[in-house]
């Protein structure tokens, strides 16, 4: 529920990614061996087939000159977020179009500008997204914080921020792409969105 204005559209409650979906993905990626790398390669190929525009958006954003650690973090987070949505919602996720990605990126940019312009605003845009997808954003924060802590001396913080923003757009775009389950009651706030 919104307590202040936001340019970010609310995420329907049925699109939330439950904690067990993220835990399942985390457990599947916990191994650091050849089999785990093969699983990641396979998962990335499935991501490219299922969400070509989103995969291209991620690849383009991460294709810029970035710190190697930030780049690896970006690919890991982008893939993990998609896997969590896929695990939670599977065939109920529509393909995100390039136009939808542009619109989502613009919503996030507008929201960031609104918040910078309001000196009384205590929330950041990522706080708003965290209200909508708490488990996914907590997972992302955990990995970003861990990476910054373990690579504090050599990582480019601006590159990590760029990666974070790409992942936030991905979270919103996938959230909006989840189809309403048949017979799922829609809250009044979701009808107005």
Question: What's the pLDDT tens digit per position in 112-147?
Answer: 988 888 877 777 889 999 999 999 999 999 999 999
Q: Indicate the pLDDT class of residue 23, thresholds 50, 70 and 90.
A: very high
Q: What is the mean pLDDT of residues 148-164?
A: 91
Output 18 or 4, whichever has higher pLDDT.
Answer: 18
Picking from 165, 131, 133, the residue whose alpha carbon sits closest to that of residue 15 is 133
- Please say if the pLDDT value at position 26 is more than 90: no
Round to whole Å and give the CA distance between 79 and 58.
9
| pLDDT of 2 | 44
For residue 189, name the pLDDT band (cuts at 50, 70, 90).
very low
pLDDT-based confidence at 154, cuts 50/70/90?
confident
User: Residue 121: exposed, middle, or buried by beta-carbon count in 10 A (0-12, 13-18, 19+)?
Assistant: middle
Report d(CA 51, CA 146) in Å as an integer: 28
Residue 108: strand, helix, or coil: helix
Q: Is 80 exceeded by the pLDDT of residue 37?
A: no
User: pLDDT tens digits for 54-79?
Assistant: 999 999 999 989 899 999 999 999 99
Question: 3-state DSSP call for residue 90?
Answer: helix
Predicted TM-score of the model (pTM): 0.89
And the tokens for 18?
Answer: 């439950």
């Amino acid at each position: 529920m919104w307590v202040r204005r936001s340019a970010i559209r609310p995420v329907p409650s049925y699109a939330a990614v439950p904690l067990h979906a993220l835990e399942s993905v985390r457990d599947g990626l916990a191994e650091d061996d050849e089999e785990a790398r093969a699983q990641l390669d396979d998962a990335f190929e499935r991501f490219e087939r299922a969400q070509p525009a989103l995969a291209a958006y991620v690849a383009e954003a991460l294709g810029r000159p970035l710190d190697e650690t930030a780049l690896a973090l970006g690919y890991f987070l982008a893939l993990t977020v998609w896997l969590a949505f896929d695990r939670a919602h599977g065939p109920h996720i529509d393909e995100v179009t390039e136009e939808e990605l542009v619109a989502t990126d613009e919503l996030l940019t507008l929201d960031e500008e609104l918040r910078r312009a309001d000196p009384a605003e205590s929330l950041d845009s990522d706080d708003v997204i965290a209200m909508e997808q708490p488990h996914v954003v907590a997972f992302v924060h955990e990995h970003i914080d861990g990476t910054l802590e373990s690579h504090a001396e050599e990582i480019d913080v601006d590159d990590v921020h760029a990666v974070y923003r790409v992942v936030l757009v991905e979270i919103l775009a996938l959230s909006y792409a989840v189809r309403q389950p048949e017979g799922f009651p829609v809250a009044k706030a979701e009808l107005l969105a």
